[in-house]
Amino acid sequence: MFRFAGRFLGLTLACGFGPAQAASLQVAPVLLDVQAAGDAATSITLRNPSGAPLNAQLRVYRWTQVDGREVLSETSDVMASPPAVMLKPNSDYTVRIVRLTRKPIVGEESYRLLADEIPDEKTLKAGAVNLLVRQSIPVFFRAPTAVPANVAWSGVKANGRLAIKATNTGDLRMRVTRMRVADKAGETSNFGDGLVGYVLGHSSSTWTSRGAVKGFAGGAAKLTALSETGPLESSVALR
């Protein structure tokens, strides 16, 4: 089990620092959402737009949130088939994501598919830095009867920044983007123009403002954001 911080860039160094060789693995779509009462499967496309062969490895981890933090755990409930593939130059390859467990889906199950480009040591040049992009794809399997997200918001000001906690008592996750929080005096705190994060079903997640804030001494504040279902507006209990 290990902590996880979303999509990140891995560096494989070859003989010190030097010119960069850019990775080329592409993945589509960037989110998999399957509604099923039992066993289920979906697929994802790997793309190699370069003129050279590319090796990729795919692994699926169970995704949970513990004490507001992201955690990935090894699982045998869902797998990628095949788990490794060699893509020819300028080609696509379809990989199946299969739910193997016979247990019925309760609410929504959350996973992360990690797609890694595997470096070919034969092509590494002396003094080069090989840049490898790890694609992290959310994978959700949900029951037809899953209860929509039901999120309560709270906040606290600490070390000059505002921390907002989202607590979800529903079954389904909520994806949050372009989040802003404003206090009664009109002071606004920015949490980013893109993806802020997910709060999974029956879980909580905490996000910290991008910069220092004034105000927000207590009472109530107004939160605005975008979710998968559209614009979001809610009150935030500050303490």
Domain 151-238 class in CATH: mainly beta
Q: What tokens appear for 98 in the block?
A: 């299969």
pLDDT of 2 over the 60 cut: no
Contact between 57 and 116 under an 8 Å Cβ cutoff? The reply is: yes
Mean predicted confidence (pLDDT) in 198-205:
97
pLDDT of 80 over the 70 cut: yes
Any residues with CB less than 8 A from the CB of 35 and at least 6 apart, and which? 142, 143, 144
pLDDT of 10 over the 70 cut: no
pLDDT at 145 (0 to 100):
94
Confidence of residue 23 (pLDDT cuts 50, 70, 90): low
Return the HEC string of 157-196.
EECCEEEEEEEECCCCCEEEEEEEEEECCCCEEECCCCEE
How would CATH label the architecture of 2-142? Sandwich (2.60)
Tens digit of each residue's pLDDT (9 = 90 or more) over 81-127: 999 999 999 999 999 999 999 899 999 999 999 999 988 766 666 55
pLDDT at 122 (0 to 100):
67
Q: Which residue has the higher pLDDT, 136 or 132?
A: 136
DSSP three-state, residue 145: coil
Q: Which residue has the higher pLDDT, 124 or 137?
A: 137
pLDDT at 128 (0 to 100):
60
Q: Do domains 2-142 and 151-238 have the same CATH topology?
A: yes
pLDDT at 129 (0 to 100):
59
Q: Where are the domains of the chain?
A: 2-142, 151-238
pLDDT of 22 over the 80 cut: no
pLDDT at 130 (0 to 100):
61
pLDDT at 7 (0 to 100):
34
Q: Which residue has the higher pLDDT, 78 or 12?
A: 78
CB count within 10 Å of CB 126 equals 8
Tens digit of each residue's pLDDT (9 = 90 or more) over 96-106: 999 999 899 99
pLDDT of 39 over the 70 cut: no
pLDDT at 36 (0 to 100):
83
